[in-house]
């Protein structure tokens, strides 16, 4: 053992800090994530730094998580204050930040009265939603979900995830699920019957590269559910809490779901999720039906309250709309208005600061790699789409800096792909 540690120390001295840390990661972590390209060690605002000291404009925000960017004073102060008072209570006792967060989330929904379950992340929020539906619609167990959707990696949430490559190795599921093409209201109506317990949908597909449905799709889904008596569950894990310029992405349409799930941007970097059940659905769970040791943790709830306060105080909903519109126009142009769109860019989809760039060729990984080497962090959730989900505090100057580099990023990625790199 001692010799191994000495060898690791020698290796760390001989290679760059980035490489040394990634090597250490690969030596101890399971292989499910693969080898990360770089380690990140520090952040401030919309900028992060790696172990070699290189700076990057963060246009991904930990996959739509770091709503306020990095080391935001409001978040730091709230977490520091709360951890000095009370770090954990379990669900055997109540704590004030959790109560305040639940009250705040209910108020943001508006409309009918809602009840809240606080969880650790999006998957566990969706697990709670599944149980709400099963209790409310017992004994029915049939669900309808969308192809290409993503609802989490836990077995219940995975059963509703419309990606066979990640779902089927862990099946079969105890749930009966029918998958329909996303955005196809006729297919949804055909699949939902009086024996359907619930319909699970994302207002915009996140892990398929930020793909928006046709206008009116959610309203049609609401009507379909009402006719069949099924509950409509909207997964706002990635798109909620201001990312699209509204508190919830579904608020861009005149629709009221039965259940809403949240996570990611809610905690601004700390792990917290929520399942909000509206009206009668809020009364479905009984004592002992569900629980979470860390759900409602006072430190995480204090962080979430700071996020909500800051978004409201600093006008970040309007900012997400304005800066998102600027990014959308620039990404579409590709080479600037005079030259027209770059031939690689087929579409720019999404809302606010949640955007997906469609590409004419499967070069998304090359685009992300070139962008990183030029100091910008993006993501390629699928081979022909690039995702942007920057902090809600992203300013016009930083957005323009990226857009100025965007044509060269596309050109280099296309060239690299053509050269087989």
Active site residues: 150, 235, 264
Cα-to-chain-centroid distance, residue 176: 25
CB neighbourhood size of 343 (10 A): 13
How many CA within 13 A on the CB side of residue 267? 27
DSSP for 141-168, written as a single string: -EEEEETT----SSHHHHHT-S-HHHHG
CB neighbourhood size of 407 (10 A): 16
Sheet holding 385-388, edge to edge: 345-351, 354-359, 385-388, 379-382
Radius of gyration of the chain (CA): 22
CA dist., res. 233 & res. 89, Å (int): 30
Give exposure, 33-67, as e/b (b: 16+ Cβ within 10 Å): eeeeebbbeebebbbbbbbeeeebbbbbbbebbbb
End-to-end Cα spacing for the chain: 39
Q: Are 104 and 133 in contact (CB under 8 A)?
A: no
Q: Are 159 and 188 in contact (CB under 8 A)?
A: no
CA dist., res. 418 & res. 410, Å (int): 12
Beta strands per DSSP E along 273-353: 273-278, 345-351
The alpha-helical segments, DSSP class H, found in 121-254 are: 122-136, 155-159, 164-167, 185-191, 217-228
On the 0-12 / 13-18 / 19+ scale of CB atoms within 10 A, 320 is buried
Q: Nearest CA to 231 among 154, 153, 160, 150?
A: 160
CA dist., res. 299 & res. 83, Å (int): 6
Question: What's the token pair of residue 185?
Answer: 């209201």
Question: Residue 419 has what DSSP assignment?
Answer: T
């Amino acid at each position: 053992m001692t010799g191994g540690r000495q060898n690791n120390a020698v290796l760390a001295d001989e290679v760059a800090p980035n490489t040394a840390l990634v090597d250490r990661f690969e030596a101890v972590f399971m292989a499910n994530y693969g080898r990360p390209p770089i380690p990140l060690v520090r952040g401030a605002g919309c900028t992060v730094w790696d172990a070699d000291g290189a700076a990057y404009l963060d246009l991904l925000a930990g996959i739509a998580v770091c709503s306020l960017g990095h080391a935001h004073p409001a978040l730091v102060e709230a977490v520091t204050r709360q951890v000095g008072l009370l770090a954990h209570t379990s669900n055997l006792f109540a704590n004030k930040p959790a109560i305040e967060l639940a009250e705040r989330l209910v108020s943001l929904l508006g409309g009918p009265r809602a009840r809240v379950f606080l969880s650790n992340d999006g998957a566990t929020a969706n697990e709670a939603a599944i149980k709400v539906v099963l209790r409310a619609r017992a004994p029915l167990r049939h669900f309808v979900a969308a192809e290409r959707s993503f609802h989490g990696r836990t077995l219940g949430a995975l059963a509703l995830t419309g990606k066979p490559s990640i779902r089927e190795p862990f099946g079969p599921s105890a749930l009966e699920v029918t998958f329909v093409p996303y955005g196809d209201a006729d297919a949804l109506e055909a699949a939902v019957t009086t024996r359907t317990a619930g319909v699970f949908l994302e207002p915009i597909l996140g892990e398929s590269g930020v793909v928006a449905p046709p206008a009116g799709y959610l309203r049609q889904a609401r009507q379909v559910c009402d006719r069949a008596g099924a509950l409509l569950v909207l997964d706002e894990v990635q798109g909620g809490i201001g990312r699209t310029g509204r508190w919830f992405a579904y608020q861009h349409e005149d629709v009221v779901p039965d259940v809403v799930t949240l996570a990611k941007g809610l905690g601004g970097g700390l792990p917290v999720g929520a399942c909000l059940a509206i009206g009668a659905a809020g009364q479905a769970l009984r004592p002992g039906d569900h629980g979470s040791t860390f759900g409602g943790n006072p430190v995480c709830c204090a962080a979430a309250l700071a996020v909500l306060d800051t978004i409201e105080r600093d006008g970040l909903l309007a900012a997400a709309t304005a800066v998102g519109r600027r990014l959308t126009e620039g990404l579409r142009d590709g080479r600037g208005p005079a030259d027209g769109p770059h031939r690689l860019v087929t579409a720019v989809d999404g809302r606010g600061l949640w955007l997906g760039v469609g590409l004419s060729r499967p070069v998304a990984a090359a685009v992300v790699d070139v962008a990183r080497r030029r100091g910008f962090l993006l993501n390629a959730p699928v081979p022909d789409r690039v995702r942007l989900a920057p902090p809600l505090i992203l300013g016009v100057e930083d957005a323009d800096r990226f857009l100025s580099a965007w044509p060269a990023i596309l050109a280099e990625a296309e060239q690299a792909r053509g050269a087989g790199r």
